[in-house]
Each structure stands twice: as structure tokens, then as C-alpha cells.
């Protein structure tokens, strides 16, 4: 815990190492403590141990998006268990938690396969990214900070700031402009604009019967279409409902259905959502009111899991305000309002009332899945429904 707090201070204050003596002394103490921690026997393992573990991680990653049979999984599991029994990999080996998770996943999969059955292995991209770091993870002592001395302008501007760790001189910000944006395909991309994943959250509100749930399934398909793994908490409608089946058939492409997972249970409340956020790229909650969580927990999730996208439906009161408070609408990057035009559902549309990433006011027809003009509607007889 002490090192974690030291790391947080280091990340915030390292830019002022050469400017403030107290900051320099604090960082020096932190680096010394960190080096002592890394030198302990529980943290540093032999190169041989690490090499064997990396080999198993590499073999597992090679299974991604491949079809494996029961015999192949069995060979991997036996090889891994032999390495563990010989203590070539122990619980103290660096990254041993990944090996434990790999072993558990493959054993579970092996036990569900029949003799000649095969399985398509897909590793979610968050875990793949973590496993990829294993190859580059070399622990070595930290030396002195060698950043060049700041200019006189920096010194003068910083000396006027009392809470130095909280601020960074704007001319010390990264010069490159981030290009880490993405856009959904088709009309939803036009509606939402170029998105930035960091702390991205979308709130959805609207009239009862307007199509909020249907719209979220269209979003789920769109995010899956660009490679994301989606976790849906369907707390308003049971996952075995015929309505869920119809929405799956109508709004989810066959190629994307394997990337979308659904549950109607929330056994541990906030903790259940938080755990799911570590496994999925996108979390959809229908609806927030059924979670029985406070509105402040919405922003807490967003901050705790900045690389997970949250799409959350909020129910309205009879006065057409958000149940539980409007704080989530201010915290989200995009707020989408579902407008119920008539009882045919064919003319209902989604419109962004707030969008940090694109233009507000664009209308998206939920039935046709197209962007529409201000006066355009789709009129068809009720007998076609």
C-alpha cells in the first residue's frame, strides 16, 4: 500500500523533480524503498523460472482464434502440471496468477468437451494485452531521474503553485496529439462521432416503450463488430425471455453473437459489475435503477475502470427526470435520449442531448437503424408489425 501511494505521487510529481527539493527527496526515498522491495526473494525469481512461464504463456496465446481439440488441451494441461509439480513454476514465480488462470480456463474447457469435439479458443483482448506484457516484463533497479533541467519559465510558473503534485505546467504536457480514437460502423458512428475509450460512458434515457433496450442491443452489436467483448446485465428482462431471443435475432449479427454475453443476476451489487468490467471491453446495464446502487457509483465505476466502456439505461420519473438523481448525466461523455413518436415504434428515434465527441441533435431511427432528417419518418401500416 505504501509503494502504491508512492507510485501515485511519483507519477504526479516526477516532472518537478529538478525544481522542488522536497519532491526530489520524497521521490529518492520512494525509489530506494521500491528497489529494496524488488530485490526481495518473493519478487525476483530465477531467469529459468520466468523463461518456462513465458513459454507456457506464448503457447496459450498461440491458441487465440484457433480451433483446438480435446487432445491438444490435454497435452498443454499435462505439460503445465508437470512444470508445477517439478516446482519449475511456483506461486511465487512472477506472473504465476496468469498461469493459474490459464490452467483453470483450459481444464474447465477440457471437461466440457466430448471425445471428438473441438472448440474455438478466443482470449478477450484485455487479457491478451496483459499476457503480452509478460514478454516485456523485466524487473531492474531504478536509477536517478535524468530528465533535463526545466526552463526558467517553468520554475517561475511552478513556484506560484502551492499544490504542486496536482498540477503540471501546460508546456510540459505531451506534445503529440492522441490518435487513440475510434468510430462505430455505419449510422451509429455518424450519431456518436469519433470516440475516445478512456473513461467513456454513455447514458440512455427516454420515454417508456420508446425502444431503449432495443437501442442498446444495436449498440452491443456495433461495438462487437469492431472487436469488443460485451457483457450485458439485463436486469429489467430475464435472459431467457422470448423478448431477449427476438432482439438477439433481430439486432445481433451471427458473427458477433459469440462476443456478447448476458446475465440477469447481480449477486454482489457493485462488486459484480466491477469484476465484470475487468473481463469485458463494454458493460451494458439495463437498467441502473435495478442495481439499487447510488448515482455516485456510476462515476466510481467509470474512474475505477477507465479502459472499460459503460452503456447504462436510466429510467425516468413521471416528471421525466432521472430516477435517483441527474449526476450520471453530467459524468457521462454522451447522453442519448430516446424519443417515442407514436405507438407504431417505427418513428421512434435516438438523439444525443450531450456529446463530447461529436455533434448533438443528430437523429437515429431505431427501427430503420438509419440517421434521419428533422422531418423524415417511416410510415408503414400496423399490419406489417
Q: Which of 172, 189, 216 is the last residue of a domain?
A: 172
168 shares a domain with 146: yes
121 shares a domain with 95: yes
| pLDDT band (50, 70, 90) for residue 237 | very high
131 shares a domain with 144: no
pTM over 0.85: no
Q: Check: CB of residue 363 under 8 Å from CB of residue 371.
A: yes
290 in helix, strand or coil? Answer: helix
160 shares a domain with 111: no
Rg, the chain, Cα only: 25
CATH of the domain at 318: 3.40.50.300
Show Cβ contacts of residue 299 under 8 Å, excluding neighbours closer than 6 positions.
327, 328, 331
223 shares a domain with 113: no
Q: Tell me which residue range forms the domain holding 234.
A: 181-384
* Structural domain count, the chain: 3
102 shares a domain with 248: no
The C-alpha atoms of residue 200 and residue 228 are separated, in whole angstroms, by: 14
* pLDDT score of 149 more than 50: no
Q: Which of 117, 136, 155 is the last residue of a domain?
A: 136
96 shares a domain with 128: yes
| pLDDT band (50, 70, 90) for residue 201 | very high
Give the mean model confidence (pLDDT) for residues 79-101.
83
For the chain, give the mean pLDDT.
80
362 shares a domain with 231: yes
Q: Check: CB of residue 131 under 8 Å from CB of residue 102.
A: no
161 shares a domain with 96: no
Q: What pLDDT does 378 receive?
A: 38
205 shares a domain with 277: yes
Amino acid at each position: 500500500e505504501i509503494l502504491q501511494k508512492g507510485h501515485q505521487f511519483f507519477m504526479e510529481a516526477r516532472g518537478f523533480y529538478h525544481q522542488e527539493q522536497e519532491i526530489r527527496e520524497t521521490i529518492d526515498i520512494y525509489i530506494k524503498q521500491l528497489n529494496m522491495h524488488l530485490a526481495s526473494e518473493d519478487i525476483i525469481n530465477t531467469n529459468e523460472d520466468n523463461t518456462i512461464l513465458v513459454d507456457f504463456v506464448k503457447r496459450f496465446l498461440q491458441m487465440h482464434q484457433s480451433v483446438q481439440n480435446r487432445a491438444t488441451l490435454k497435452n498443454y494441461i499435462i505439460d503445465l502440471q508437470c512444470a508445477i509439480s517439478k516446482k519449475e513454476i511456483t506461486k511465487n514465480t512472477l506472473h504465476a496468477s496468469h498461469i493459474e488462470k490459464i490452467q483453470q480456463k483450459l481444464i474447465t474447457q477440457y471437461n466440457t468437451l466430448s471425445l471428438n469435439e473441438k472448440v474455438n479458443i478466443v482470449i478477450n483482448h484485455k487479457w491478451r494485452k496483459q499476457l503480452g506484457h509478460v514478454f516485456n516484463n523485466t524487473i531492474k533497479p531504478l536509477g536517478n531521474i535524468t530528465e533535463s533541467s526545466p526552463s526558467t519559465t517553468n520554475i517561475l510558473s511552478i513556484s506560484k503553485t502551492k499544490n504542486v503534485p496536482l498540477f503540471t505546467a501546460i508546456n510540459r504536457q505531451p506534445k503529440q496529439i492522441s490518435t487513440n480514437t475510434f468510430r462505430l460502423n455505419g449510422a451509429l458512428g455518424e450519431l456518436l462521432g469519433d470516440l475516445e475509450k478512456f473513461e467513456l460512458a454513455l447514458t440512455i434515457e427516454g420515454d417508456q416503450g420508446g425502444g431503449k433496450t432495443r437501442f442498446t442491443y444495436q449498440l452491443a452489436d456495433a461495438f462487437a463488430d469492431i472487436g469488443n467483448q460485451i457483457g450485458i446485465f439485463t436486469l429489467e428482462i430475464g435472459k431467457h425471455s422470448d423478448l431477449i431471443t427476438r432482439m438477439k435475432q433481430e439486432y445481433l449479427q451471427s458473427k458477433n453473437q459469440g462476443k456478447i454475453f448476458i446475465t440477469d443476476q447481480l449477486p454482489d451489487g457493485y462488486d459484480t459489475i466491477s469484476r465484470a468490467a475487468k473481463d469485458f471491453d463494454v458493460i451494458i446495464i439495463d437498467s441502473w435503477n435495478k442495481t439499487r446502487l447510488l448515482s455516485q457509483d456510476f462515476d466510481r465505476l467509470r474512474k475505477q475502470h477507465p479502459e472499460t466502456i459503460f452503456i447504462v439505461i436510466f429510467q425516468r420519473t413521471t416528471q421525466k427526470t432521472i430516477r435517483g438523481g441527474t449526476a450520471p448525466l453530467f459524468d457521462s461523455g454522451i447522453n442519448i435520449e430516446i424519443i417515442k413518436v407514436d405507438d407504431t415504434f417505427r418513428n421512434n428515434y435516438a438523439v444525443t442531448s450531450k456529446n463530447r465527441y461529436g455533434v448533438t441533435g443528430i437523429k437515429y431511427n431505431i427501427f430503420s437503424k438509419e440517421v434521419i432528417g428533422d422531418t423524415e419518418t417511416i410510415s408503414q401500416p400496423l399490419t406489417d408489425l
